[in-house]
Amino acid sequence: MNSRAAQGYGMVVVSYLLIGLSGTLVTWATAPASTLLVLRFAVAALVLAAVFARKRRLSGLLARDLWPRLLLMGALDAAALLLYFVAIRETSVAIATFFLFIQPVWIALLAPRLLRSATERVVFVAVGLALAGLVVILVPALSGKAVQLSALGLLAGFGCGLSYAGFALLVKGLTRRVESVTLVLVECTLDMLFLLPLALWQTLGSGYRLTGRDLLVALVLGLVCSALAYTLWMEGTRRVRVQHSAVLGFLTPVAAPIYALILLGQTITAWTVAGGTLILAAGILVVLRGQEDLESEPPV
């Protein structure tokens, strides 16, 4: 494995581990989810703009032909977030999470057409292992009495996974022309603007008042789980195949219970250990046996 690919895999892995902290942090706050998201992205955008917003880094945004793709990138990311929350409300966290993490399947199927990058057989094997691991982790929740199904919830779940896959494929193409930090700045700004109307409606309409804990959680989410994690993910995705990056995304549901154990004292079940082992095996398989030919992935 060349050093560029090794660095890329390392960045992607760290980014997903940081993103896995999000769920535990959100449980500490009481603000509406859309409000936390807007605050999170506002913090990330402000920090990135203050540190990196120089002409050289932003020069890639001057190309007008990029903006339709950038706007679509933001819309797909915001849509994935919203549909995920709708799926949670109409079904359950377990079912919504399963649909969200089906996105590697969509990426494996769509990448050959949109990126002209053949999906290796090892990717399908790794996706199968990872999906099996995810199902094992979610077995207790899926078998509980709280599970409910609705047409709207299932449609939202299907849409959130497909939207996130489209977002990842667009990002892979855009990283060839725009710096990673710049893409994250645009993503966070657009997400904030797209989600702002809903956040205002949910917050002002309910008369909710933000607490100090809400603001602290939003600050950590913005700095660690967005500005830092998203930048690492963008830069890592630039260096490795998007199909491989998608498989490694299964590390997020593995990391979440570990953070819950450390920060909230929640126990880790045997289901989590067994499922996490399958997911780790899938990640190792795709890193060690996947192809490294980065140039075979031209822009979308």
First to last CA, the chain: 26
pLDDT value, residue 13: 93
Show the DSSP H helices in the chain as ranges.
3-19, 22-28, 33-52, 55-58, 67-90, 93-100, 103-114, 121-142, 151-174, 180-206, 212-220, 229-239, 242-248, 251-259, 270-289
Q: What is the pLDDT of residues 104-142, one digit of tens each?
A: 889 988 988 887 778 889 999 999 999 999 888 888 776
Residues ≥6 apart with Cβ < 8 Å to 300: 69, 114, 115, 169, 170, 172, 173, 174
Q: What is the pLDDT of residues 54-73, one digit of tens each?
A: 656 666 666 778 889 999 99
Q: How far apart are CA 300 and CA 296, in angstroms?
A: 12
Q: What is the pLDDT of residues 243-274, one digit of tens each?
A: 999 999 888 888 888 887 887 777 888 888 99
Nearest alpha carbon to residue 268 among 146, 19, 25, 276 = 276
Q: How far apart are CA 133 and CA 209, in angstroms?
A: 40
Mean of pLDDT values over 143-153: 72
Total residues found in the chain within this entry: 300
The full set of domain ranges for the chain reads: 3-121+146-240
CB burial readout 250-283, b (16+ within 10 A) else e: bbbbbbbbbbbeeeeeeeeeebbeebbebbbebb
Percent share of the chain, pLDDT over 70: 91
293 pLDDT tier (thresholds 50, 70, 90):
low
